[in-house]
Amino acid sequence: MRNVNLRKWSAELIGTFWLTFGGCGSAVLAAAFPQPGIGFAGVSLAFGLTVLTAAYALGSISGGHFNPAVSVGLMVAGRLRPAELPGYVIAQVLGAVAGAGLLYVIATGRPGAELGGFATNGYGAHSPGGFGMTAALLTEAVLTAMFLIVILGATARRAPPGFGGVAIGLCLTLIHLVSIPVTNTSVNPARSTGPAVFGPSYAAAELWLFWVAPIAGAVLGALVYKLLLEDE
């Protein structure tokens, strides 16, 4: 059992590392340099591709959560044992911090490097579009709820086999296309925590929202799916 858990935790750590390094790296490096960069669409696609590729590489080991909110939602839906949740969340956060740490070292590796917000999440004055706290809460909660519904439906027994990763990756791409202007897109507490460790101080002060809203949304999405959409 210990070896099984270690493999699962390792898969979650590596997958969340890849999501944070690849997704946030596209924002910190490719979106800003060289100009004009890849823009919101490119960053959105990068996040979707990290989840898609990691899901196929590592999903058979751990389920491919790479996100504490997803793990909580899957626990509520009965697809993860409560005893497994702490190990998953710790591994995910460690992976995100490692990914953000490596990105920080690379991003500061040229003279005159300007990190800006370092792909952190925020609201109000720290929202890319100036959106307030209520808008940020609603955006993060609703989009995470829909993310859970897509995950649960795409990985259900009745779903076409082998395509779950594609649906989940494209869903995360769509989520970013909608919400980058509002919060710089979290829907993932680990992804928010990693850059907040190395980014500007406001990111840590506003990090609570990017834990509370995604987890609340994940629980809502799991309950809606179980009550209304799941086969008996």
Residues 221 and 148 sit within 8 Å (Cβ to Cβ)? yes
Q: What is the CATH number of the domain that holds 137?
A: 1.20.1080.10
**Secondary structure element (H or E) that encloses residue 65, with its range:** none
Task: Pick left, alpha or beta for residue 153 (phi over 0 → left; psi -120 to 50 → alpha; otherwise beta).
Answer: alpha
Q: Burial of 90 by CB count in 10 Å (0-12 exposed, 13-18 middle, 19+ buried)?
A: middle
Which of 208, 199, 181, 142 shows the shortest CA–CA distance to 24?
A: 199
Banded pLDDT at 33 (limits 50, 70, 90) = low
Structure confidence at residue 108 (pLDDT): 93
Cβ atoms of residues 108 and 115 within 8 Å: yes
> Domain count of the chain?
1
pLDDT in tens, 56-95: 999 999 999 999 999 999 999 999 999 999 999 999 999 9
**CA 170/CA 190 separation, integer angstroms:** 20
Rounded to whole angstroms, the Cα distance separating 34 from 86 reads 40
Both tokens of 78, joined, read 């009965």
Give which of 134, 131, 153 is closest to 212, Cα–Cα: 134
Which candidate, 120, 118, 128, places its Cα nearest to that of 182?
128
Q: Which domain holds residue 189?
A: 2-229
Q: Which residues contact 177 (CB under 8 A, 6 or more apart)?
A: 40, 41, 44
Task: Tell me: pLDDT of 37 over 80.
Answer: no
Residue 5 structure tokens: 């858990």
Tens digit of pLDDT for each residue in 182-232?
A: 999 999 999 999 999 999 999 999 999 999 999 999 999 999 999 998 875
Query: Whole-model pTM?
Result: 0.94
